[in-house]
Amino acid sequence: MKRILVALCMSFSTFTAIPCPYRPFDEEARPLAVVCLPIVGAVVGLFWYVLALLAGRWLPAIHAALLVALPWLLTGFIHLDGFMDTADALLSWRPLGQRLKILKDPHAGAFSIIALAVVALISYDAASGIAPGSDLRALLFIPVISRCGSALCVLALEPIGHSEYAQAESSTAQRLAVAAMGLIAALFCGLWLGEQVAVLLVEALIYGAAMLWGYRTLGGVSGDVAGFALTIAECAALVSLAGRTTLF
């Protein structure tokens, strides 16, 4: 039980900017910290939903901007950083060895800046079509589904050689736990949200497509590749949500 608590705190302190007073580290708990990602997603989703409602009520002039920025702020931009690194590598169209060097390079290249601008513009355009006070309950589940995908991919797929997960060992039980959390979230969402469950279906499909592109092109999965797929999937989910909750 103590190791699970340690893993959960590791997951919060690593993957969010939400203050966590207990910040332990246990290398053996790293796979469990990945398993805890959907729980982290649930907390991020709760903050995203509540803050979006408050912004719609008290700051309607910048509601769309905050709707886009809140998940990036809540996670300390960690997934956005992975998105930019991976976009730089994928869009370079270089041989595999050079792509992996670009992936590890801490500097932002032109492709990463362009990719960030495109994602931000698409997200903002979608959020601009959502009127303050609209039904935003899908925000509670969007981070859960994307993090279920990331956890499953990191635990089940072949890691890139330099990945922080290259030496980590995972078990079938851990993968089943993540899958169960995703299924429970999807079922609950379907029962509670009705047709808005389509937002999560779109998100899952886009996540799979983005992960497949990154995995096949870079020869494995890493935290950066998972962040790449997560960022694209959550952008697609926001677009899908806007299609069901519009200003008109």
Q: Which two tokens stand for residue 2?
A: 């103590």
Are 227 and 82 in contact by the 8 Å Cβ rule? The answer is yes
Rg, the chain, Cα only:
18
Torsion of CA 185, 11, 230, 121, to 10 degrees: 110
Residue pair 189/197 in contact (Cβ under 8 Å)? The answer is: yes
Between 184 and 76, the higher pLDDT residue: 76
Q: 210-221, pLDDT tens digit by residue?
A: 999 999 999 889
Q: Exposed e or buried b for every residue in 5-32, given b needs 16+ CB within 10 A?
A: ebbbbbbbbbbbeeeeeeeeeeeebbbb
Mean per-residue pLDDT, 35-59: 90
* Of residues 207, 204, 208, 213, the one with CA closest to residue 89: 213
List pLDDT tens digits, range 163-198.
666 555 555 556 566 666 666 666 666 667 677 788
* Cβ atoms of residues 120 and 29 within 8 Å: no
pTM (whole model) above 0.95: no
pLDDT at 173: 58
Percent of the chain with pLDDT over 70: 80
Q: Distance between CA atoms of 236 and 205, rounded to whole angstroms? A: 10
pLDDT of 88-104, one tens digit each?
Answer: 999 988 898 888 888 88
What's the per-residue H, E or C state across the chain? CHHHHHHHHHHHHHHCCCCCCCCCCCHHHHHHHHHCHHHHHHHHHHHHHHHHHHHHHHCHHHHHHHHHHHHHHHCCCHHHHHHHHHHHHHCCCCCHHHHHHHHHCCCCCHHHHHHHHHHHHHHHHHHHCCCCCCCCHHHHCHHHHHHHHHHHHHHHCCECCCCCCCCCCCCHHHHHHHHHHHHHHHHHHHHHHHHHHHHHHHHHHHHHHHHHHHHHHHCCECHHHHHHHHHHHHHHHHHHHHHHCCCC
Q: CA-to-CA distance for 20 and 13, rounded, in angstroms?
A: 6
pLDDT in tens, 118-164: 999 999 999 998 887 788 888 999 999 999 889 888 888 888 876 66
More reliable by pLDDT, 204 or 180? 204
- Domain total of the chain: 1
- State the average pLDDT over residues 201-225: 93
- State which residues form the domain around 30: 2-244
